[in-house]
Amino acid sequence: MNGEVSHQMHLLMEKFEADDDLWVGVVAARDNTPEKPVFCAGADLKAMSGRGGTWPKRPGNSGGFAGLVQRKRIKPMIAAVHGAALAGGCEIVLASDMVVASTNARFGVPEVKRSLIPAAGGNFRLMQKLPRSIALELILTGDPIPAEKAYELGLVNRLVQPGEELETAIELAKTITVNAPLAVREALRVAREGVSMEDDDAFKLSNERMGYLSTTPDFREGPLAFTEKRAPKWTGKPGDPARL
């Protein structure tokens, strides 16, 4: 991952977030070789040690490393992992909301082996998503864990055979997209922000976002479809905060 690839990822994320017809994103490796499968092995160390760098060289919400790890997102992202997800590759996974991994996947942050730290979110996101002692072992030893262990610890949502990770991730996305898109986004927002809040503040945020949803067309469509015993027809049209 170098600066140019990060910039291309940034552009793709911009398009994804702006397109109302796209509800869930999946990030996966392309042209992965069976002999040496790699989801992402992290930053291009040559670029890091030279002038190229590994972050997008553009203003605005570039998203940081890979155009993703620091991005303010409103839509869910699923990582489909085949092979090694190391260093920045692991941090792409950690920045995603859900993970589908093949049995040949492995996850690690070996930065300390190169006198670096997992500066693209690994230091604190591993502590959020894994038991403290396990997270610290990964961070301080730099040694990876296999997919089966990551699944047991809850880092991975679905564990599949090699070659099935992308299809399974898309199927997981489909189970999300049967739901009201704005409700999914607001639920994701409250889940992310509320987890670090005191209860009173979390309830305030939850009630605020529920109030917003009550101004949307889909808020009426959900109960109506239920009473009429039919599948809902979601529009995804935004609400009007002035009506609150």
List 14, 17, 35, 91, catalytic entry: 91
- Given the structure tokens 């790699």, which residue do they identify? 38
129 closest CA partner among 121, 118, 141? 121
Q: Are 117 and 73 in contact (CB under 8 A)?
A: no
165 belongs to the catalytic site: no
β-strand partners of 107: 85, 145
List 17, 111, 186, 221, catalytic entry: 111
91 belongs to the catalytic site: yes
Helix axes 122-129, 88-95, angle to 10 degrees: 50
Given CA atoms 150, 128, 112, 38 in this order, what sign does their dihedral have? positive
Which pair of tokens denotes residue 69? Answer: 């790890």
Catalytic residues: 91, 111
